[in-house]
Chain A
Amino acid sequence: MKLYTDHGNFQTLKIIVASEISGVKLEIVHTKSDEKVVTYLSSCKLPALEVHPEKFLFSANAAARYLTNLSWKETDPSALDQWLEWESAVLLPIVFPYLVSLIGQGKTEEHQLTCIHGYLEHLDTELNGRQAFCGDQVTVADIVLWSSLYPVLNGKFCLKGWESQYKHLQAWNSHLANLQPFKAAVKIVLGDRDTSVLKASLLAQPVPQRAKDVGQAGQQ
C-alpha cells in the first residue's frame, strides 16, 4: 500500500503509527511539496494513502482509522468519531498555524499560545486518572492526537514547561512515545533529526480551516 507524502510532513505520523500497529507494509513515496497526487483536489494536500490504485484517502484521520480497523474492533465508535472530529475541526486549525509560525517563521502570537494552552489543559483534564482518551486501551484517538501534538510536546520547539503544567498529558505522551509503533513512526518521519525538518512541509501544505459559521467566534 502506497503512502504519498512530502518530506517531514508531521500528519504522516498518525498513518505510519497505524500501519505499524496493524502490520500493513507501507511503501512511502516521497513527492515534492507542490506535487499534486490526488488529482481531483485543487491543493497539493498531503499525505494521501492509496488504498487501491487511484483510490486515495486524503484525510490523514480517515487513513489512520482505516489502518487501525484492519486489526482492531472499535468498541465505542461514537467516542472515536468525536475525538477525531475534535482534532480535525478544532485542534488542528490552531496547532497547524501555530507550528507554521513557530517552526516556519520562528515566532508565535499571544492568541495562538493562549489557544494551545487552553486545549492542552482540556486534554490534561480528560486524561485525569486514565491511560487513554477512549477506554483504557490505546485507540486511533490517541494515535491521532499524539501525532498532531508531537511537534508541540516534543523536540526543539516544544512548549516551554508544559510537562510540569500538564502532568497527565505528560504521562500519556511519554507512555506512547516509548511504544514501538510510535518510535518507528518518528524515526521514519524525522530520522534522527529534530522537528525543524518539518519546516518545508509546514510552509508548503494548505492550512486546515475551521467551519465558517462558528469560525469567527472561535478565533478570538
Chain B
Amino acid sequence: MAEAGQSIAALAAYLGVKAGKVTLDGRDKIPVVKGKTGTRRGLVSIAKHLVRAAEKNSLLGKTIEDQSAVDQWLEYRVSQLDSCQGDKELTVVLKELNTYLADKVYIVNHIMSLADILLYYGLHTHFVGMPYYDKENYMHVSRWFDNIQHEEGVRQTLPYVHFLRTQIYDRMSH
C-alpha cells in the first residue's frame, strides 16, 4: 500500500488538489479514496480522477489513441511494476522500459503524461539505492527518469536521484 499511497500524495501535491485519505479496500486489497464526489477505487482510477479534478486532462492524452497508450502504461505500472516480487522481475521491467524508451523522450507521444509521472513515482524507490553501473545498464530509463525528476513540481519531496553525466564505465558485459 505504501507505494500507492505515496504516489497519490505526491501526484495530488503536483496537481495542487486534495487527495483525501487513501485506505486499503478490505476485499480487493486495492487503494481506495473516499472523497466528496464519491469513492474511487484503484491507483490508476484515483490518479486519473485527480488529474480531471485539477482540470489537467491533457495529461491523460489528447487523442483517443494517446489516451489508450497512457491507459496502457498506467496499467503497466500496477500489473507489471507494482507486482515485482524481487530483483528478477524488476530487471524484466527495467529492460522492457529501456528498450521501449531507446528512441523516446516521454512514454507517450513527445509530451509528458500521467504515465510518465506514475511510472516515475513507482520506479523511484528502486532508483534511490541503485548503483551507478546499474543506472548505466539502463541508460535510456535513467535518461528518462532524470528528465522527469526535473519536470517542474513532479519530484515534490521525493529525494533527488543522482546520475553520472560521463559514461566512466565501459560497456563491460555484466
- Interface SS, B side: helix
B31: which A residues are within 8 A, CB to CB?
Answer: 214
List the A residue with the shortest CB-CB distance to B24: A214
Between A62, A84, A85, the greatest number of chain B beta carbons within 10 A of the residue's beta carbon is seen for A85
Q: Contacts A40-B100, A88-B79; is A78 near B48 (CB within 8 Å)?
A: yes
Pick out which of these stretches binds chain A: B12-20, B38-46, B162-170: B38-46
Q: Which of B87-122 contact A (CB under 8 A)?
A: 92, 95-96, 99-100
> Does chain B have a CB within 8 A of A69?
yes
B43: which A residues are within 8 A, CB to CB?
Answer: 85, 211
Is B49 a contact partner of A89 (Cβ separation < 8 A)?
A: no
Q: Contacts A39-B99, A210-B83, A218-B29; is A86 near B75 (CB within 8 Å)?
A: no
Q: Contacts A88-B78, A217-B29; is A82 near B42 (CB within 8 Å)?
A: yes
CA distance in complex: A122, B67 (Å): 29
> Does chain A have a CB within 8 A of B68?
yes
Size band of the interface chain A makes with B: 35 or more
Is A40 a contact partner of B99 (Cβ separation < 8 A)?
A: yes
Is A90 a contact partner of B30 (Cβ separation < 8 A)?
A: yes
Is A85 a contact partner of B82 (Cβ separation < 8 A)?
A: no
Q: Which of A94-135 contact B (CB under 8 A)?
A: 118, 122
Between B79, B80, B99, the greatest number of chain A beta carbons within 10 A of the residue's beta carbon is seen for B79
B2: which A residues are within 8 A, CB to CB?
Answer: 213
Contact partner, A213, options B67, B68, B82, B96, Cβ 8 Å: B82
Is B96 a contact partner of A214 (Cβ separation < 8 A)?
A: no
List the A residue with the shortest CB-CB distance to B101: A40
B35 to nearest A CB, angstroms?
A: 11
Contact with A along B42-56 (1 / 0, CB 8 A): 111100110010000
> Does chain A have a CB within 8 A of B171?
no
Is A85 a contact partner of B45 (Cβ separation < 8 A)?
A: yes
- Interface SS, A side: helix
B40: which A residues are within 8 A, CB to CB?
Answer: 78, 82
Between A58, A84, A213, the greatest number of chain B beta carbons within 10 A of the residue's beta carbon is seen for A213
B42: which A residues are within 8 A, CB to CB?
Answer: 81-82, 85-86, 89
B119 to nearest A CB, angstroms?
A: 14
CA distance in complex: A100, B52 (Å): 38
CA distance in complex: A81, B69 (Å): 14
A-B interface pairs (CB < 8 A), number: 114
> Does chain A have a CB within 8 A of B150?
no
Contact with B along A31-68 (1 / 0, CB 8 A): 00000000111100000000110010111011101100
A89: which B residues are within 8 A, CB to CB?
Answer: 30, 42, 78-79
Is A215 a contact partner of B99 (Cβ separation < 8 A)?
A: no
Contact partner, A63, options B49, B68, B92, Cβ 8 Å: B68
Contact partner, B96, options A42, A52, A62, A210, Cβ 8 Å: A42
- What are 19 A-B pairs with beta-carbon distances under 8 A? A42-B96, A57-B69, A59-B71, A61-B75, A62-B71, A66-B65, A70-B64, A77-B52, A78-B45, A78-B48, A78-B52, A81-B44, A85-B75, A85-B78, A89-B78, A90-B28, A209-B83, A210-B29, A212-B84
Residue ranges of B at the interface with A (Cβ–Cβ < 8 Å): 1-4, 24, 27-31, 40-45, 48-49, 52, 64-65, 67-69, 71-72, 75-76, 78-80, 82-85, 92, 95-96, 99-100
Known: A78-B49, A89-B30, A213-B1. 8 other contacts (CB 8 A): A52-B65, A59-B75, A78-B52, A85-B43, A209-B80, A211-B79, A212-B83, A217-B29
